Amino acid sequence: MTSERDKMRAGDWYCCMDPEIDAIRMRVFDAVHRHNLALPSERGNIHPELRALLGAAPESARIEGQFHLLYGENLFLGEEAFLNVGCVVLDSGRVEIGARTMIGPQVQIYCADHHRDPVLRGQLIERALPVTIGADVWIGGGTIVLPGVSIGDGAIVGAGAVVTKDVVPGARVVGNPARQVTARR
């Protein structure tokens, strides 16, 4: 029999309120809490307890305080990736953030795609769609990145954008929904 966690990892529909999944979240919530409460001078770039739960986080990657995360094991950070204050990463699916990418304050990255059928949605059925953010990307504060989106290398996402579709490398996007305004030359 396939567990709800296995279904989540496979991108299949699963119930997000499952004892095994709850236990993982609680362990991550505790580590995130310690990260957020630690003095910055003692925390370093990422609190060691939180770093140990992440899929990948090189020493040069940095996560500021008031951060929120669900599973940890699905978050993969590149060298010198930077998440500013108040970021939320709902990593039910894989979230990759490339090298030297700067994520502004209060950015929200979502992987959970809730079921369209209201009965199944009411039973907390969802699926996890990955989010990929390339290298050298700049995402302005208050942006929301929706499930299944890829943002290409070198792209710039204007503050407050809602990214509903893939962003090509080097593009500049703004608005809700985010739309391309110029391409990098």
Q: Which residues are catalytic?
A: 114
The residues facing 145 across adjacent strands are 109, 163
Whether residue 20 contacts residue 6, with contact meaning beta carbons closer than 8 Å, is answered with: no
Q: Which helix (H) or strand (E) holds 5?
A: helix 4-10
Give the pairing type, strands 171-174 and 179-183: antiparallel
> Could you give the C-alpha distances from 57 to 137, 154, 162, in angstroms and in order?
17, 20, 26
The identity of residue 85, as a single letter, is V
Using DSSP, how many helices (H) and how many strands (E) does the chain show? 5, 19
Whether residue 14 contacts residue 127, with contact meaning beta carbons closer than 8 Å, is answered with: yes
Cβ atoms within 10 A of the Cβ of 68, count?
Answer: 15
The residues facing 151 across adjacent strands are 133, 167
Contacts of 44 (CB under 8 A, 6+ apart): none
